[in-house]
Structure 1
Amino acid sequence: MIIAPEISGTSIVIVGNHNPAIFHPSWLFKHGVETEVDEELINIEVCHSELTRFSIGETFYHIDKDRFQISTVSAPWIQISDKVSMIFLEILTHTPGTAVGINRDIHFRVGSSRKRTEIGRILAPIEPWGHFGEEMNKEGGETGGMLSLSMRASEANDRYHIAKNIKIEPSVKIEGDDGIYMQANFHFSPIGEPSMADVIGVLNENFQNGINESERIFDYIMGM
């Protein structure tokens, strides 16, 4: 990417019918999904029939009855796709699945608050807002403008629908006033009554392309 992000991560969400109580670090170690690590690298927040949430090193798991989510802040990103494939194609093969999401998140600096405001003005002009827009740009006062902007592109083929959702906001994780947060979410919904194998097939077919397209979009904004 044009600017190296200060914070970066990727996640996968599998929408389906899950049993959160199954998931536990020891279960993942037993089945070879995760490599055993020292106990201090394991953090279990909750493990319950309704919700399970824990981390192993830099990999995070969040599972409720409708959603399985795995995320990491450590490249290579393909590692989480491999883990999802192992879980649902080799172990929990009968779990119902309906959709999959590929998410890429970054926080990066643009060098100054002025530059961040300029980018915001390009993406969300204040002129169409009339008097309210003038209030965002009062001389000597605090600068106002875009707080959050989301855009969507949709497409479909004979196998699945795709919703590509991009969000851009001021970063709340980078200190100062020159940070930008961007998220790319590519949501795939297989057509008909898919099996989990269909859902994972769509994931494996699109994962790397989704990451690459996300970063091309990020690069375009960084190029401003």
Structure 2
Amino acid sequence: MNNLKPIFQEASVVLVGSFNPAIFHPEWLLRNGLISEDDLADQDVEIIHQDIARFSLSWLNIQVQHDKFVARTNDPSQFMPLKDLIVSVFTILEHIPIEKMGLNYNVTYDIGNAEDWHSVGNCLAPKSIWEETLPKPVGMKSLAVESPREDEYNGYINVTIGPVRAKGYGINIGVNNHIEKAEGKESLNPPDILMGNWDAAILFAKKIAENTITKALDR
């Protein structure tokens, strides 16, 4: 399927550690030179509290709890600025202990028609074994695959795939590039990891998604 194009893309960085949600605010980002005045024009501060912070700018969404920090953008032109922002934030907050992190990519493809849409599920999750015991029709709801990392980090690559019927015949694929701190280490270093791995992680995730859909459609 040569004309396969994403209809939705999102990149996110997830950190698991120990955070103070109350400090995370668009004004704090501005004071530290991490965003511009123009970014504040589109801010939507949902809540800033000692237990949770949740706000968005035109290109960015941030949510922070005591044990988790999540920053995401669904604008592909901002994937690199997202990385730069997180590098800058956790260079300033260098003493925050980080135990786990995820470099994530999520994409939805419009398959175009019901026949091809069903063929993806038939390829990735053959129905015959299920049809022996379940009423027909049987369809793939979600599928998850995990693979070990091949670099120096502890962790894994987790891929999820499932149908999307909100608009047309869509297939969504999420790639979670998961990293955990090594035994005996006090913390991960998000700036170093992102600077050395973000570009490759996004390219690798796109390759996984494109190859999976293309091969499934060609079967």
Kindly state the Cα deviation for residue 197 of structure 1 after the two structures are TM-superposed: 6.1
**Unaligned runs of at least 5 residues, structure 1:** 138-143
Q: String of CA shifts for 1:151-183, please: whole Å, max 9, x gaps.
A: 0001365x42121010111115x413x111111
Tell me the secondary structure at the aligned position of residue 6 of structure 1.
Answer: strand
- 1:156 and 1:162 in contact (8 A); partners too: no
Match of 2:83 in 1: 81
Map of 1:191-210 to 2, 5 A cutoff? Answer: 191-194=182-185, 198-210=189-201
In 2, are the aligned partners of 1:10 and 1:104 still within 8 Å (CA)?
Answer: yes
State the match for 2:147 in structure 1.
Answer: 153
1:169 aligns with 2:162: yes
Q: Aligned partners of 2:123, 2:81: CA distance in 1, in Å?
A: 36
Partner of 2:178: 187
Aligned to 2:198, the other structure's residue is in SS state: helix
Equivalent residue number for residue 57 of structure 2: 56
Aligned to 2:136: 136
Q: 1:60 to 1:132 in 2, by over 3 A?
A: same
Secondary structure class of the residue paired with 1:77: helix
Q: Is the 8 A contact 1:2 1:219 kept in 2?
A: no
Where 1:162 maps in the other structure, the secondary structure is strand
Counterparts of 1:22-101 in structure 2, within 5 Å, are 22-37=23-38, 40-74=41-75, 75-89=77-91, 91-101=92-102
Deviation of 1:221 (Å): 2.5
Give the TM-score taking structure 1 as reference length.
0.88
Q: Secondary structure at the match of 2:85?
A: helix
> Which range is displaced more, 193-202 or 42-51?
193-202
Number of residues of Structure 1 aligned to a counterpart in Structure 2:
213
CA RMSD for the aligned pairs? 1.9
TM-score normalised per structure 2:
0.89
* 1:37, distance to aligned residue in structure 2 (A): 2.1
**What fraction of aligned residue pairs are identical, expressed as a percent?**
26
